[in-house]
Amino acid sequence: MIIIIETERLFLREMDTDDYDALYLVLGDPGNMRYYPYTFDEKRIRNWIERNMTRYRENGFGLWAVCLKDTGEMIGDCGLTLQDINGKLLPEIGYHIRGNCQRRGYAGEAARAVRNWAFRNTDYEALYSYCTDANVASYRTAESIGMHFDREYLDEANGTMHVSVIRRDDLIRNMIGWAEKKFGSTEYAGWCLSFIEDALEISNGLEIFGGDSAKESSEMYNDAMKTGFPEKGAFVFYDCLCQSENGLVNWGHCGISYGDGRVIHAWDKVRIDEYRQIEEMTAVSGDHPRYIGWVPFARILKQKP
């Protein structure tokens, strides 16, 4: 069994031919699949499994089996596939949950986890979800993971299709928006790394992996550290000596780039300063931050624990 993703209540694994009976309860239910233009018989369901097994080999992703953690029972599928959406092959997050397991948040929980996996493990700048415009529950699930309406188009087999999208830029906007709401707060005074990590994690419902201090994190991201003008959403790092019980320690300093030269960061309070002017600030130890560089947003997401 190859587990791809774990959430609080679920795990997503690669499906195989032994999953036919469980998948039949999902795809073979006419009520559950009423928005599809055809009925799923045994052949279509077995082809569904085979097609996803092929996707795992060729693309490194596909629709995965959604299983309950406490029992291991498969209750549906969810994953990333490449779909023809209005004439373009686009990365799409799809999900199907067994009828008697719906309205418990499983589809949203699985889809959010797939969203996070896709942004960590692929270079796609945008992820999509699509369904017929009558399938309100499906696009409401997409909206629950941060997607928003992108377009509608007419499909010959399915009628009017509703397309939802989420872009990496949306995650950045959420992060900066959350950080701005803390402007002037002393809640994070002395906790610059916690501030930027919370801004990204809390605003987007995902987890990132860094060090115990800004300096340690900067070293973990050293392979991607860039100098010069920081781009939007980048984590910006500085060296800075801080007073500790063991004397002066380089714990560093960090913030989030607006992409226009400004950085929002937690010092004595949450504040916004030009990234070079931060070097003029004075720590309690008497030291000044020294600019190291910045790490692209996409690299922050890819950091492994």
In order of 66, 76, 86, 99, 105, the CA distances from 102 in angstroms are 13, 10, 29, 5, 7
Last residue of a domain, one of 80, 102, 124: 124
Which CATH number fits the domain that encloses residue 253? 3.90.1720
What residue spans of the chain are helical by DSSP H? Answer: 20-27, 42-59, 106-121, 136-144, 168-180, 192-204, 214-220, 297-302
Residues 198 and 95 in one domain: no
Q: Is 171 part of a structural domain of the chain?
A: no
Closest CA to 76 of 29, 130, 134: 29
pLDDT 10s per residue in the chain (305 long)? 899 999 999 999 999 999 999 999 999 999 999 998 888 999 999 999 999 999 999 999 999 999 999 999 999 999 999 999 999 999 999 999 999 999 999 999 999 999 999 999 999 999 999 999 999 999 999 999 999 999 999 998 889 999 999 999 999 999 999 999 999 999 999 899 999 999 999 999 999 999 999 999 999 999 999 999 999 999 999 999 987 777 889 999 999 999 999 999 999 999 999 999 999 999 988 899 999 999 999 999 999 87
The reply to whether 268 falls in a domain is yes
Q: CA dist 68 to 29, 74, 101, Å?
A: 20, 7, 10
Classify residue 186: in a domain, yes or no: yes
- How much is the pTM? 0.93
| Strand 126-132 with 148-155, pairing | unpaired
Same domain, 49 and 116: yes
Domain of 244 in residue numbering reads as: 181-302
Q: Residue 212: inside a domain, yes or no?
A: yes
Residue 120, domain CATH: 3.40.630.30
Give per-residue pLDDT as tens, 156-170: 888 999 999 999 999
Query: Which residues are CB-contacts of 114 (< 8 A; sequence separation ≥ 6)?
Result: 5, 12, 64, 78, 79, 80, 93, 95
Domain for residue 152, yes or no? no
pLDDT at position 15 is 98
Q: Structural domain tally of the chain?
A: 2
- Strands 10-13 and 126-132, by their bridges, are unpaired
* 17, burial (CB in 10 Å: exposed 0-12, middle 13-18, buried 19+): exposed
Residue 174 falls inside a structural domain:
no
Residue 133 lies in a domain: no
Examine the domain organization and report whether 262 and 190 are in the same domain: yes
Task: Look at strands 88-97 and 74-85 and give their pairing.
Answer: antiparallel
267-276: long-range contacts at Cβ-Cβ below 8 A with a sequence spacing of 24 or more?
267/189, 267/192, 268/186, 268/189, 269/184, 269/185, 269/186, 269/189, 270/179, 270/182, 270/183, 270/184, 270/185, 270/187, 270/188, 270/195, 271/183, 271/184, 272/183, 275/229, 275/230, 275/236
Burial class (CB in 10 A: 0-12, 13-18, 19+), 302: middle
| Rounded Cα–Cα distance for residues 12 and 2 (Å) | 9
